[in-house]
Amino acid sequence: MPVQAITDNYTGQVMDAKANFGGNLIIYFGWDEHLMFCAPKAFPLPPQMTFGDVIDQIMPQAFGQHPEFKDIDWDKAQWTLNREAVSPARDQSLEALGVDHKSCFRLRTPGLTGYKGTGV
């Protein structure tokens, strides 16, 4: 949703601009039906990072505290990137997947529906 300033001549500095992250991209990750996490989590990541490294390093940081995390079958995981279905390979870089600054990955895990099936 665009934001409108109260005055016509308002100017401000964009603090989360791509240029402010030293070559990294802010990338969001969300896990559907696991609302223990109310919103996607943001990470500054290098565009050259492989998706395998995301799974091995970032996802445990983001969601490892959920009781179902250990039950994820990564081979059956379903992903969207900016609302489009994707099938990332472990050796693909984020850049090769088309990730840009403030892109959002969503994860669906068939068979896992949150703590005791509650969606949480």
Whether 7 maps to a domain, the answer reads no
Closest CA to 107 of 40, 13, 22, 47: 40
Whether 9 maps to a domain, the answer reads no
**Per-residue pLDDT in tens (0 to 9) along the chain, 120 residues:** 567 777 888 888 888 899 899 999 999 999 999 988 889 999 999 999 999 999 999 999 999 999 999 999 999 999 999 999 999 999 999 999 999 999 999 999 999 998 888 887
Whether 85 maps to a domain, the answer reads yes
Whether 113 maps to a domain, the answer reads yes
Whether 47 maps to a domain, the answer reads yes
Per the structure, the complete domain to which residue 39 belongs is given by: 18-117
Number of domains present in the structure of the chain: 1
Quick one: tokens of 47? 């565009």
Residue 72 to residue 107: CA distance in whole angstroms: 10
Q: Give bridge partners of residue 81 from the DSSP assignment.
A: 84, 105
113-120 contacts at long range (C-beta below 8 A, 24 or more positions apart): 113/33, 114/33, 114/34, 114/35, 114/36, 114/68, 115/36, 115/66, 115/67, 115/68, 119/33, 119/34, 119/35, 120/34, 120/35, 120/36
Whether 76 maps to a domain, the answer reads yes
Whether 6 maps to a domain, the answer reads no
- Identify the CATH number of the domain in which residue 85 sits: 3.10.20.560
Whether 4 maps to a domain, the answer reads no
